Amino acid sequence: MKVLSVNAGSSSLKFQMYEMPEEKVLISGVFERIGIDAPFYTIKINGEKIRKEVELPNHKVAFEILVKELMDYKVVESLDEIKGIGHRVVQGGDYFNKTVVIDDEVIAKIDELSTLAPLHNPAAITGIKAAQAVVPNAVQTAVFDTAFHQTMDEVNYMYAVPYSWYTDYKMRRYGAHGTSHKYVALRMNEILGRMNTKLITCHIGNGGSVSAVVDGKCVNTSMGLTPNAGLIMGSRCGDIDATIIPYIMKKANLTAEEVDTALNKQSGLLGISGVSSDSRDVEDGINSGNERCLLAQKMYVRRVIDYIAKYYVEMGGADAIVFTAGVGENSKATRREIMDGLSVLGVVVDEENNNTRGEEIMVTTKESKIPCYVIPTDEEVMIARDTYAFIK
């Protein structure tokens, strides 16, 4: 059975098609710069990567081209072979604690929650409607980044603000990256050979979050009402003193929108280093003696350590710590610095194993009191699994 996993951005469309239940990837790719100048797309099939420049006025055209490529490369003989399309949706609020089949009511709820994810939810709706128009007979599902975190207790998801802000405006912690945290937690439990575990999962990339997972369920996570909470990220500030916002508005004569832009797009590694939001560029800056890059890295690592330590205490221990996403899977230096900072908990780095990128491996010694693993995330396969389950 063929299932398509889709992640629509405001000007992009990522996709991956699977043969299920084998979970064999048949084709993958991304359409970029949809609706703007110089659009193009790349596809990867049979180990070959192909780039094509083409007019992409909207997501519907991107889907039409995608379907044509599926036909041309004989991935499918007809549209009826595409039994399901799973869509990544960032914000599901407290409406959705699991994947759902999409109908008009679901789309309305996703649209209602756009104020909490203004860059992502409208794009998801655009992708959904485009898929419905081009492949009308496929089962369409919505897989929410926030769903995995809906198992949190109110003591962890509530903010200490006027209670009416929660009841009237749904102001609470929702988290993000839930599909990734769920995937690596499931895989970690497979490696450990049991489900009754206490895990700390670290999805650290340009965006980042840490989650505490007990017996396969999330009990706490670092992101909040929006993705700009918790860790220091590529261009997001993470946790700050809330009074900074009115203070800088008055001092610098900034509007609320300008401050929001600064905290989401001009802060984090970029804001401190002055060089880049990309951790690789920051590491290069450190190697060339840039003191601000060194400061940015130390702050970044410290915040991850803080959350790991917090969740270790909250859960009363940890059976494993997992690193995933761009930085977690590929930055040997960042992983080592985080694990060195956890030596008080008995974490001992395996330097040889940690000298790897992008592969599943234990990066601590057998003597380490808490094993630490790198597990490459696979959000697309989680979307395909959930969609396949509905069809089956």
Q: Give the number of other CB atoms < 10 A from CB of residue 69.
A: 18
- Taking Cα atoms as reference points, which of 377, 307, 360, 304 lies closest to residue 335? 304
- 145 as an active site residue: the answer is yes
Marked catalytic residue, from 145, 319, 378, 386:
145
Cβ-based neighbour number of residue 139 at 10 Å: 16
The answer to whether residues 347 and 364 touch, using CB atoms and an 8 Å cutoff, is yes
Q: 374 and 323 in contact (C-beta within 8 Å)?
A: yes
- Contact by Cβ (8 Å): 68, 79: no
- Distance of CA 212 to CAs 223, 231, 385, Å? 12, 14, 23
The CA-to-CA distance between both ends of the chain, in Å, stands at 9
Report strand pairing: 217-221 vs 320-324: unpaired
What is the distance of C-alpha 19 from the center of its chain? 24
Both tokens of 250, joined, read 């008055």
Distance CA 198, CA 181 (A): 13
Q: Where are the alpha helices (DSSP H) in the chain?
A: 59-72, 104-112, 121-134, 154-157, 163-169, 178-192, 244-252, 256-265, 268-273, 279-287, 291-315, 325-330, 332-341, 351-354, 379-391
- Pair 213, 181: CB distance under 8 Å: yes
What gap in Å lies between CA 382 and CA 6, rounded to an integer? 11
| Integer Cα distance of 200 and 357 in angstroms | 20
Q: How many CB atoms lie within 10 A of CB 95?
A: 18
Q: What is the DSSP string of 38-103?
A: S-EEEEEETTEEEEEE---SSHHHHHHHHHHHHHHTTS-SSGGGEEEEEEEES--TTT-SS-EE--
Catalytic residues: 145
